[in-house]
Every structure is written in C-alpha cells, then in structure tokens.
Amino acid sequence: MIAVALTTLRREFSVDVATVTWVITVFYLTSAVLQPLMGRLADRYGAHRVFTFGMIVVAIAGATGPFAPSLEWVCVARVVLAVGTAAAFPSAAALLRSLAPRGGFDAARIIGRIQLIDTSAAAIGPVVGGALILAAGWEAVFWINVPLAALAIVSTRVLIPRDEPRDRVPLRRTLSESDIPGLVAFAATVAATLMFLLALPDGPEWPLLAVAVVACALFAWREPRARVPFIDLRLLAANLPLVRVYVLFVIANVVLYGTLFGIPQYLEEDASYSTAIVGVMLVPLAAFNAVLARPIERLIDRWGVRRTMLAGGAGLVVATAALPLLALSPQWWIVLLVMAAVGIPYAFVLISLTQSLYRTAPPAIVGQAAGLFQTARSIGCISAAAVVGLSFSGSVGADDWIVLSLVVAAAALVLAVTMAATGRPAGARAA
C-alpha cells in the first residue's frame, strides 16, 4: 500500500524522493533486524502469544500513524508497524512446526507457501492503497491496519491452539542471551551505507562511509564470538549453496521492488495517472505468484529447480529490457503488459528460490534459514529504495525513469548471470 502513497506523502510534506524513501527503508530495516529476535521470543514464550503481541502493536501503529505531523513522525509510525509485523513470519513458522506432527503436513513446504503469500499480497496492496488514498487520503493506509490486526487476533484465537505451558523466563535474560551488539552493528552498517548513497547527488559524505565500514567490521568480528549470533556467519560459510540462494534473493527483490516503488511515482508525476489507477496497473507485477504457484511447482518436478530458475532469470532479463519503453509511451495497456512481463518470470524465480532454500538448508536449521530468507528480502527492498531515491534525486520524469529502469534491467542481468554461473544446487534433481 505504501508504494502508491509515496507521491502523496511527498506532496503532503514537501519532501524529495530520496527523503520519502525513508518511509520504506525504516520499515524494512526494522523488520530485518527484529525478525530473528522475534523468532527467539516465539520459541521461548510461545508463538501464539508473540503473534498476538505483534498484531496489537500493528493496531497501535495504525491508530496513531494518521496523526503524524511530519514525515519524520510517519517514519516513526512505520518503525512501530515493523515491530509488530516482524513477529508475524517467525511466529507462523514456529506455530507450523508445532502443528505439523498432529496435522500430518510438511511444515517446510507450508512455510514456503506463506512466503509466497507474503509476496503475492503485494498484488492486492497497491489496489487497496490506491482506493483508500483516493477516498480518505494517505492516513487511510494506516487506519486499515487496525481492523486487519483485529481480524488476525480473533482468527488466530479461534483457529490456532493456545501455546503449551512452558517455564517462565525473564525477558531480561532472553535479551541478554540475544546478540544485541551484533543486531546494532548490522543496523548501523545498513543505515550508514544507505545515508551515504542517498547523499551522493549532493556530494559524498565520507564520515558516513567510515561509520558503515567500522560498523561492518564490528559486525564481522562480533558474530563468530556470539553464543547465539544475530546472523550465523559460520553456518553460512559452511553452506555456500545456501549463501547463493540468499544473494540471488536479494538481487531478485531489487528487480521487483525497484519496479514496484519506482513506477507509481513516475506514472503519477510524469504521466498524470491517478493513484487508484496506478494501483490497479501494478496488479500483474505480483499477482502471478499466487496464480502460477502450483503450475511452477509441477514444472520444477519435471525440469528441476535449476532449469526452472534459469528460465525465470532469462525471462526477467527480457522483461526488464522493456521497462525503458514506458518513457516513450506510458499508455495503460502497455504498462499492464510490461508489469505482467516482469511478474511472470519473477514468479518462476521466487518459487524456485524458495524450494532451493529448503533443499539446501539442513533440516535442523530450516527455521533459522527461513528467517534469514526474510532478512534477504528486506535487504533487497532497502537496496531497491536506495536505487529509486538515487534515480529520482533530481526530478521524476521520463529521463529519470529510463535511468531507474536501466538499473533494474542491469540487476536482472546480474541475477541471470549469477544463476547460470552457480553449480547445480543440492537436491535440485527432478523429483
């Protein structure tokens, strides 16, 4: 929903594109940092309880966000929102692991479906967001979270068994056992790097780059020494196929979210489309994740993961090469065709990478691997926001759209080349 609200927020608070992208960035940075911690809380205090807590926080953010007097306060509300939503995925994964024995289903496969739903929801968000903004302004994008959170709480209480009794552990002890220094170093690295990149149009801010380098070095030093690391670097070093999955997922999300965050601003600013119409035109970009999930899974059974993934990567290269054409003729039917052209191969890539994740991750760490998969998504989204902010740093016109689309196309090419260069992933043979 926030993708189609960016132009409205820019006008409301009189800020430039680079500044408004912080609305996106603070959300995904908070989510990336807190998801592993929320997973630990869900394991220790109960997934049902942590999920409910998260939805209460979401409702609070939705109720207070509309009263933000400035963009800075909008960003604060988005941080609070991210705190709540960060509890959702790890809690769901923990619930499924506990329900799998009694339900007789494969928890890893269902967790993969949840990740598909997560991305497929992006097809609904722009439509709902566009309609809400048209009817009640940008504030409605926050208000809608209140009934959604209430629905989540009620349905979970009705449909999901309560947490089993467990030993009481003080929250202070849990936090002390968590890798808070590593978490802070990771956040500082990402935030300082992003601030440095967004400041480049006005001249490089070298102190920010120095902060990023120092924070990164501290993170690399800390993680191998932490009892429970924020990101287990030793685990990743011992499983390079899993690392390749994460790298590919980061690049794939730069392609998807670079398009998703960039095209609404271009179409509203330069082509004078209404927010509601733009929301509808974005539907094909993510809708195919849900429509094509089962056919692609059957194709993977026949072709194998690697061939299916390569087909998706090649399709993304061809599709993103057509993005600059929207600068020549942003007619609605051309936009729909280009969005579908990008959305279909991305569905191939997403589903192939999801299956690769569960085939390369050892069974004992599937939950941790899934959490890092979500972290990779957040890093891709943050990178995409930086790309959009830099591309539209001066204005939001046809020339600026060409710059952004060429960067997205280059990312798609890097994705395809990296896929082709990697070896056959473990377990990738056809079933």
**pLDDT tens for the 431 residues of the chain, in order:** 998 999 999 999 999 888 899 999 999 999 888 887 887 788 778 888 899 999 999 999 999 999 999 999 999 999 999 999 988 878 887 777 667 667 776 666 676 677 677 767 777 888 899 999 999 999 999 999 999 999 999 998 888 888 777 777 777 777 777 788 998 999 999 889 988 988 888 888 899 999 999 999 999 999 988 887 888 888 788 888 889 999 999 999 999 999 999 999 999 988 889 888 998 888 888 788 778 888 888 898 899 899 999 999 999 999 999 999 999 888 989 999 999 999 999 999 988 998 888 788 776 666 667 778 888 888 999 999 999 999 998 788 899 999 999 999 999 999 999 999 875 544 444 33
Q: How far is CA 188 from CA 206, 207, 348, 374, 426, in A?
A: 15, 13, 34, 19, 34
Nearest-10 crossing angle of helices 47-64, 71-85? 160
66: number of Cβ within 10 Å: 16
User: Of 407, 408, 383, which Cα lies nearest the Cα of 190?
Assistant: 383
Verify that 165 and 122 share a domain, yes or no.
Answer: yes
Residues 174, 184, single domain; the answer is no
392: tokens are 């539209």
Query: How far is it, in rounded angstroms, from Cα 74 to Cα 76?
Result: 5
**Predicted local distance difference test score (pLDDT) of residue 111:** 67
Note whether residue 153 is domain-resident. yes
Q: What is the pLDDT of residue 41?
A: 82
Identify whether 85 is part of a domain. yes
Task: Judge whether 380 lies within some domain.
Answer: yes
Q: Are 393 and 275 members of one domain?
A: yes
User: What DSSP state is assigned to residue 4?
Assistant: G
Q: Which two tokens stand for residue 117?
A: 């739903």
User: Do residues 57 and 206 both lie within one domain?
Assistant: no
In a domain, 379, yes or no: yes
- Tell me the residue range of the domain where 415 lies: 2-178+230-421
CATH label of the domain that carries residue 117: 1.20.1250.20
CB contact at 8 A, 180 and 30: no
pTM of the model: 0.85
In a domain, residue 410? The reply is yes
User: Are residues 209 and 249 located together in one domain of the fold?
Assistant: no
196 and 319 assigned to the same domain? no
State how many domains the chain has: 2
> What Rg value do the Cα atoms of the chain yield, rounded?
21
Q: Say if residue 318 is in the same domain as residue 403.
A: yes
Residue 266 within any structural domain of the chain: yes
Query: In this structure, what are the phi and psi dihedrals at residue 423, rounded to the nearest 5 degrees?
Result: -75, 180
Residue 237 lies in a domain: yes
- What does the alpha-carbon distance between residue 348 and residue 255 come to, in Å, rounded to a whole number? 14
- One domain, residues 295 and 330: yes
Q: How far apart are CA 97 and CA 119, in angstroms?
A: 21
- DSSP code of residue 363: G
* Same domain as 186, residue 168: no
Same domain, 63 and 88: yes
The residue from 190, 212, 229 where one domain ends is 229
Q: What is the DSSP string of 207-260?
A: HHHHHHHHHHHHHHHHGGG-SS-SS-HHHHHT-HHHHHHHHHHHHHHHHHHHHH
How many C-beta neighbours within 10 Å does residue 115 have? 22
Name the helix (H) or strand (E) containing 290. Answer: helix 283-291
Query: Given 229, 250, 266, which residue is the final one in a domain?
Result: 229
- 24 with 149, same domain: the answer is yes
Let me know whether 359 and 224 are in one domain.
no
Contacts of 89 (CB under 8 A, 6+ apart): 35, 114, 115, 118, 370, 371, 374
In a domain, 48, yes or no: yes
Question: Is-contact 408 258, C-beta < 8 A?
Answer: yes
